[in-house]
Each structure stands twice: as structure tokens, then as C-alpha cells.
Amino acid sequence: MNQSAQSKQNVRGHIVFFFAVALALYVAWLIRGMLVLFYVSALFAVVLSPIVRATSRIQIGRWKPFHGSTAILILLLAVAGAFAVFGFFALPPVINDLQALTGELPARIPAILAKVREVPYADRLDAADMISWIQRWLSSGAAYLLFSFRAWAGVLVEVIAGFVLTLYFILEGEGAYRWFLSFVPATARQRLDATLRRAAGRMEKWLLGQLSLMLILGTSSTIVYLVLGVRYAYVLGVLTGLLNLIPVLGAAVSLVLAMLVAAIDSWGRVAGVAIFFLVYLQIENSLLTPRIMRSRVQLPALAIFVALLLGSALGGIAGAMVAIPTAVLVSVLVEEYLVKKNDV
């Protein structure tokens, strides 16, 4: 009788556990957006923490002026100041040219059409049709911006929330990390701690590699824009380097933006910009990325490419940005708990 009662109790326990897990998975699916936001913010905090620690170690005599939250405040002010200086020097010439272009557009349309007709099979375009198409495109674009304001507002709220969460993770991440480890049995806690810290070290190296690629692309593109005589060469160079933080999409946006600016003056400059991006992407994918990224994150190029595809498919731009750090975390966990276990 006691054995039968024990068996029934075990069955009830398994049933309750199954429904509890199913309920937890259902709730996680309902709040998956929030969970993704937490995960992305935590990863960014892990990646950016070394910068905060380096700032905190700055010492003047025996005085550490950038200790703790002050280091984050100084970094925020530095980033805000850099953007303010960039906007102060970059925006006025662009705004002035846009105002001048708006006033001269009716008189310059024939010249623009003459350049367009130099393209093969474009000589059949009619000026009236072109102007009508531009007007329809502008009106539809304005309508799209108006009706999609709510969606863009939601994205802005998520970005701000992620930024605030990242700051909290940087400030209180060590305490939260210790709290997380407290749920792990003491016998496995030390091993998990060492594994996660090793993964965090590789993520920090990924940041250094990504910054190196951004600096190389920004500098080389600025030089090429100056040689070709493209307008706003310094502005475009800075934007090209910054947008390289976004895998694939960042390079595409930089290419389109640079070609549009180059098209204002001549098609030869457009061709020069396109050739530069084509050559640089080949060099980056075949030489720079394997040497810089593979040596730092210790992942093969195929794994990096697959991680970028999966990250962009699952999480869009944010997923692509954290795809490589996530791949690093997964590879370290697999190496520690599957490969080493099988070796033993």
C-alpha cells in the first residue's frame, strides 16, 4: 500500500511539474519581446563594462575622479558631446545645400534628366512623367511617415528602455550575477562562474575587434570620398564607420547614402563609390574579419555568418548586433559542458 501511494504521488508530481513548465513556457512566449530586451541589454552591458572599468581606473594622484556611477555619467557626457560636435559641424552645410537645392529644383530638373538620359534605356523618360512620379513618391512617403508614427514611437520607447536597462546592468550587474549564481548548486557554481567569465572575456575582445573594423572602414572611406571629391566626405566617413556596427544592413545603408550624395555631381563619382565598397567588402570578408574577429572570438567564419543570419531572422537589427556575442556564449558553454564532458 505504501509503495502504491508513493507511486501515485510521484505521478501527480510529474503531472504538476509538466503543467508548471508548460505554463512557464507559455508566459515566456507572451512576454518574449520583454525577455529579448532584457537579454540584449544584458549582453550590451557585458560588452561595455570594460570601458566603464577602464574609466574607473583613471587616477590623478590618489584621487579617482571617475569611480562607480560617475564613470558612466562621464562616458554619457562624452558620447553626447561627440554627437553634438558632429552635428554642429556636419548639419549646417547639409541644411544649406538642401535649402538651395529646394529653391533651384525646378530649374535643375532638366539638367538632372539630361544626366539620367545618359544611362542606357533611360532616354525614353519624359520630364512631366518624372516630376509626377517624384510628387507621388514624396506624398506617399509623407503619408507613410504619418501613419507609421505610432510604430516608430514604439521602437523609440524600446530603444530608451534598452538603454536604461543597460545602464542598470552595468551599475548593478555584479549583484544580479551573484544572485543568479545563488540558484545553482554549490558543487557546480564555481565551474559555471568560470565558464561565464571566460565567455565575457571573449565578448570584450569582440568589441575591440568590431571597433577596429569600424575605424578601418571609417578612415578608408573618408580618404576615398576626399579623393573622389564627394560632398560631405568627413560626415559620410564618420557615418560609414558608425553604421558598420550593424552587420550587413549598415554597409548597405552607407553605400546607398554615399551613392545618393555622389549622384548630385556626377555618375563617375557614383561608380567610384560603388567600386570602393565592392573592393573593401571583399577585403573585409576575406582578410580583415577572419584575422581580427576569428583571433578574438575564436569562431570560424562560417559560424559567424550563420550566427548573423539567425540573429537577424529572429531579432532584426538588434538580433544581428548581438548575434556574434551570443554565438561566443553558446560556443563556450558547449565546449565546457559537452566537449569536455565527452573527453572525460
Q: What is the pLDDT of residues 154-167, one digit of tens each?
A: 667 777 888 888 88
Amino acid at 127: A
In order, the DSSP letters of 291-323 are HHHHHHH---HHHHHHHHHHHHHHHHHHHHHTH
- Using 50, 70 and 90 to split pLDDT, how confident is the model at 343? low
Q: Cα(13)–Cα(3) distance, rounded to whole angstroms?
A: 15
User: Which is more confidently placed, 99 or 33?
Assistant: 33
Q: Which pLDDT value is given to residue 337?
A: 82
Determine the pLDDT at residue 223: 92
Where is pLDDT greater, at 309 or 94? 309
Residue 63's beta-bridge partner residues?
Answer: 60
- Give the rounded percent of residues in the chain with a pLDDT score beyond 70: 73
Q: Which of these ranges, 28-32, 108-112, 282-286, 331-335, has the smallest mean pLDDT? A: 108-112
Q: Which residues pair with 60 in a beta bridge?
A: 63
- pTM here is 0.69
Of residues 120 and 319, more confidence is placed in 319
What are the tens digits of pLDDT across the range 194-245? 888 888 888 878 878 888 888 898 899 999 999 988 888 888 888 888 888 8
Residue 69 in grid coordinates: 556611477
Cell of 255: 553605400
Alpha-carbon gap, residue 167 to 140, rounded angstroms: 39
Tell me the percentage of the chain whose pLDDT exceeds 90: 2
Q: How far apart are CA 230 and CA 233, in angstroms?
A: 6
